[in-house]
Amino acid sequence: MILNNDHISEVFPSVFRIRINLPNNPLRFVNSYLVKGKERSLLIDTAFNLESCYDELSFALNYLNVDRKNLDLFITHIHADHIGLLDRFIKNSRVFMSNVEQEVVVEAIKHPDYWHLMNVFLLSNGMPKEILEGALKYLDLVYVQTYPSMKSDILENFKSIRDGEILSYGDLDLQGLLTPGHSPGHMCLYDEKNKILFSGDHVLFDITPNITWWPNLNNALKSYFDSLEKINKLKIELTFPGHGEPGKDIHKRIENIIRHHNKRLDEILSSLYDYKNAYEIAREIKWNLKYDKWEAFPKTQKYFALGETIAHLIYLKENNLVEEKVENEIILYKRAL
């Protein structure tokens, strides 16, 4: 396997971006970042629990002369494209993540049923069983299997950090900023002096991060808006996202993302003249995807689209703009009068 300079690049003095392929995934790549210190270094995010991802990441760390005995990990959030390789790298490492996300990760490791709660909720929002089962065939492979493969003894190396706590590596003082929305305890790292942000999947520049319902984050879109405002107040000149290229103008990007969600809220609200379930609503939304009709969406895209629709419906409901009722165990929504 050959990694060229596209895959490993110094994006800031002593900060290296490692771009790792995500096979058969529309995201195509995930970014890990290495902050090189004098004694210990910090690796921000891993990739899927796949052999090819492991090989690419190992190659990059060797190439960058990193001694794995002196490597700590920071995980921005629970998703398998960021946390997947954790137990392959954890042996000599401390693993930092937010205290909120750590609780979710521990839950997911100890009780694989955690993900099942999400599936039950999707079914109660009108998702046909065969679509869910089709999506899970893929998602089980990369997402759910991540957690059963992790052994509980890795929990001993976990170090939770709270909002505002600082991790110092090399010349960087990285402040953990709790940014719930994309996941319940997502955390960005911010260096105030250098005005740089590792944004995880909180702000991406090529796509809008998926926002969905979580068992412990009911109004995820509200949390996401609040977390965007929180980041928007900071002085940031360069952002290193979890996917895609680094971005210069995060403030403009945040404005665009907020506008995108407000437009979608309007679109959903204007279609709710009569009771519908979330799956029916998702089918009518104009998604910004390459497929020209809903029927052509892969099942995994339908899964994510439904989650996104539900997050918007809950936001509208919490703002008293939408009311809901349950009929035959399916939740129905309608515009409030």
State the residues that interact with Zn ion by CB under 5 A: 81, 201, 242
Q: State in angstroms the smallest separation of the CB of 123 from Zn ion.
A: 25
Buried b (16+ CB within 10 A) or exposed e, 26-36: eeebbbbbbbb
Q: How far is CA 249 from CA 11, 196, 198, 204, 314, in A?
A: 16, 11, 14, 11, 30
Q: State in angstroms the smallest separation of the CB of 139 from Zn ion.
A: 13
Q: Which two tokens stand for residue 275?
A: 């009771």
* 178 vs 316 by CB, closer to Zn ion: 178
* 87 vs 201 by CB, closer to Zn ion: 201
* 105 vs 268 by CB, closer to Zn ion: 105
d(CA 255, CA 17): 26
Q: Is 140 exposed, middle or buried (0-12, 13-18, 19+ CB in 10 A)?
A: middle
Q: State in angstroms the smallest separation of the CB of 209 from Zn ion.
A: 8
Residue 209's nearest CA partner among 243, 246, 249, 232 is: 243
Judging by DSSP bridges, how do beta strands 8-12 and 95-98 pair with one another? Answer: unpaired
Q: State in angstroms the smallest separation of the CB of 223 from Zn ion.
A: 17
* 126 vs 200 by CB, closer to Zn ion: 200
∠ CA 158-69-41, nearest 5°, is 75
d(CA 203, CA 257): 8
Do the beta carbons of residue 221 and residue 262 sit within 8 Å? Answer: no
* 86 vs 331 by CB, closer to Zn ion: 86
d(CA 168, CA 178): 17
* 53 vs 272 by CB, closer to Zn ion: 53
Q: State in angstroms the smallest separation of the CB of 20 from Zn ion.
A: 11
Q: State in angstroms the smallest separation of the CB of 30 from Zn ion.
A: 6
